[in-house]
Structure 1
């Protein structure tokens, strides 16, 4: 069930955006408008990454906006997508959670997610009263921790490769260990499956020899 925090986080409490999410008297966070925001925000990240123009500045500026921290010196006004990210009194901010999630996922897909575990957790003080936003930062910290350190209670070592996927993942049998992270909009089924192949010497894995552990954070 949707909570007040979840809806307000996703839409940023923007009245027109909230209105577009109402269908048959109920809130639908799969609404076309939210999907469009996700696609637009993701596309800008891809364009900035491919052009390699002011990329470092862009990453640092977006980092500041997502974590509501001071925008770094030298940040250029055109280095971020001002439809969804902005600064007030030199402190970064974002318009809605859908854009935040889209950009975070796309940065990870491009291998340029600059948010470390400590950075995520130290950002909680600004959001601790909002369960949905707190969940976002904890989820990001957990994904980074699992990728770098593994899951010791499950006997899964780290570090492991991070592989993003759209729809349903295509598992790469040549890797001994990988963390698959969904890139799709509003992916609810799982946050991330871990694929583990038991390797021998020599060993060729078959479909029945691998283990997949779904993780829900």
Structure 2
């Protein structure tokens, strides 16, 4: 049976753990990720299983099937990880990213693999940063911008970076005028709904949206 005959979804439904697929299959509905389940019973399988075979007669624990292979990697530390959360998105493009709980605590904002080079300069929420740090971000943003050549092939990315530079400069102006102050302890906020992490349950994005 090939993956192409009905897709991975049908393949998992038919073969479960008995197939060759490893990991989880991303699906475009509220299930989000579909794991390989138990393989369907064989037609010649014995229906009645004795207590001894289950391990119950001797008081032993019933054996459990091993979980699905984890093939995903956390983008922060590269540890095996495959749990998708609606609150963990790339701050640039809002694509879902795999970020383990430890890195979720350590990182203020997340960046997908495509935007990993922007991780030291592109942030949606500028509240925590002082004027000096914002100046550094501007310089780095322009370095990334100028390195995207030929320009015609990177016009969308370059435009996104220029808009971010304008946003950072506007924030610097507000800091200099006293209209705003940097707050290193500013609460982290959700990239989708903009609520604080304490208020957002991650159900505001895509298939989770209520």
TM > 0.5 between the two?
no
- Counting strand residues as a fraction of each chain, which structure ranks higher? 1
TM-score of the two chains, using structure 1 as the length reference: 0.23
- Counting helix residues as a fraction of each chain, which structure ranks higher? 1
TM-score of the two chains, using structure 2 as the length reference: 0.23
Which is greater in Rg?
2
